[in-house]
Amino acid sequence: MTVCVFASSSSRISNEYSVAASNLGLLLARDGMEVVYGGGGIGLMGKLADAVLEKGGAITGVIPSFMKDEGWDHSLVKKMILTKDMGERKKQMFELADAVVALPGGVGTLEELTEAITLKQLGLFTGPIIILNTLDFYKSLIDFLEQMISGHFLRYEHKGIWEIASTPEEVMVLLAKKEGWHQDPRSIARI
């Protein structure tokens, strides 16, 4: 299984987030899962990549050329796919992924996560989408998604598009589940 991980590039965040990112990287590598991520060398992206590499796991970075030109790529990740822009980056990452895990992050991570949810709602991505809710980071987003459901902007069935984990270990349990979300997502895409 190839797991696409979206995560923060900030290096100014609380250490608990870094520990969770490292633990997830170690667990993914230990279980022989390939990792696709945004190619960064700092923040949670860097911690994730360092852990996967430390454990001898397979990791692919996908990064726009301008970010590599700025030196934002992880220098030890051997398989680095360069894209022309952010949109192509996301497209490449989704094409390579069997599952998506969102770690805490900024607006870029939020945008990637919500696109994954949208793609799954439309049946264009069918794998698991797991939100790693370290330190309750995503509580406001989860509440907002619930508000969308209660306000009928999403169907109740759409709640099954994403799953929430509190720890990296819970992420691994959710990745191991075999059942899917919905046989025909487009049949319920229209509200």
Q: Kindly report the three-state secondary structure assignment for every residue of 49-80.
A: HHHHHHCCCCEEEEEEHHHHHCCCECCCCCEE
Cα distance between residue 113 and residue 42, in whole Å: 20
Domains in the chain, CATH or no CATH each: 2-177 (3.40.50.450)
- Give residue-wise pLDDT tens across range 83-109: 999 999 999 999 999 999 999 999 999
- Give residue-wise pLDDT tens across range 66-83: 999 999 999 999 999 999
Q: Does 182 score more than 90 pLDDT?
A: no
Q: What is the pLDDT of residue 151?
A: 97
The beta-strand segments (E) located in the chain are 2-6, 34-37, 59-64, 79-83, 99-102, 129-132, 163-165
Tokens of 102: 């969102």
How high is the mean pLDDT of the chain?
96
Q: Does 191 score more than 80 pLDDT?
A: no
Q: Does 179 score more than 80 pLDDT?
A: no
Q: What is the pLDDT of residue 180?
A: 79
Arithmetic mean of pLDDT, 3-27 = 97
Arithmetic mean of pLDDT, 52-77 = 97
